[in-house]
Chains A and B, each alone.
Chain A
């Protein structure tokens, strides 16, 4: 897959939403220009790259982390003071389902975890050669 084919796919799937199309084109061009390196993009950075609102960026991120055009993989990191833990999918899922995040080292619940957990985005399968 290349940037043009990805943009073409996006344009078909989002034909009725020009905002997502424009944001997606900008983001896709960026992602393909950076595909040879490591990606670790915050949600704030996605907003900047796509030059769009948080709402449009969220919709775009949902789409690009999915099955059809998997250019991104969403992950989460726990940041407490200066310590950072990249969370595994099962840990994040447990928190989403049960409303409780267990600390990766201690196994005890992290108080107010939603304030200390931050989404970030890596390369999805569609960007991997």
Chain B
């Protein structure tokens, strides 16, 4: 039993218990965040934090049904700011990025699209990989966040993956995700400007809302 009474010092175990309302692993993520010392550690914890934020976003799709890309991205940006990241929407990095995150000198850029059609999503991929990210060390990973407001979000992600695969992108490879594999996958390809490998994390956000009880 964890004591949290007023006279007992708060241990790691007690703080972990108190922080659970912000996710089962909220304290572990905070520790990983504040002890980041290299780019891969930054990316690992950032992705865990984004996944936790996406989890919350998905809980109330009825509240998001009228939100556009900007409004949804601003919400993710706000949550990242609360976690301590230097997050921005529409910051000027080769253009106006949907989401940029700076932390301890590392940078990550995300582009966000509603699944209007696959050309629209591809435009986001192109913006991310050819306009915003330099592809240099410490900036060789980015994200494409896809807000899916229709039903069968898994099918949307499957079709997006197939669509991207048919675009003739040089050296494009697909890498599976161990987390939410039906809605997250990675691509790796040669970044045009830097000539270095660039990894994109494609994240589907389930925001469909089509209840059949009241019409």
Contacts and interface: CB of A to CB of B under 8 A. Distances in A.
Contact of B35 (A16, A63, A92, A119): A92
Interface size class of B (residues with CB under 8 A): 20 to 34
Interface in A29-60: 42-44, 54-55, 58-59
A14 B78 CA distance: 8
Contacts of B15: 43, 58, 119
Point out which of A64, A96, A117 has the most chain B C-beta atoms below 10 A from its C-beta: A96
A114 B11 contact: yes
A111 interface: no
B31 interface: yes
Contacts of B10: 42-44, 54, 118-119
Given A58-B18, A59-B22, A96-B31, A68 B84 contact: yes
A90 interface: yes
A67 B35 contact: no
B32 A58 contact: no
B84 A65 contact: yes
Interface residues of A, number: 34
B82 A59 contact: yes
A65 B34 contact: yes
Contact of A68 (B21, B26, B81): B81
A59 B28 CA distance: 14
B16 to A, nearest CB: 7
Contacts, number: 96
B23 to A, nearest CB: 11
B22 A44 contact: no
Interface residues of B, dominant DSSP: helix
A89 B37 contact: yes
Given A65-B84, A92-B31, A114 B13 contact: yes
B11 A115 contact: yes
Contact of A62 (B9, B16, B18, B83): B83
Contacts of A90: 35, 37
B63 interface: no
B24 interface: no
A66 interface: yes
Contacts of B31: 74, 92-93, 95-96
Given A74-B34, A115-B13, 7 more contacts: A14-B82, A42-B10, A44-B6, A62-B30, A66-B84, A67-B104, A74-B30
11 contacts: A13-B82, A43-B10, A44-B9, A55-B19, A55-B21, A65-B34, A67-B104, A74-B34, A92-B35, A93-B32, A96-B31
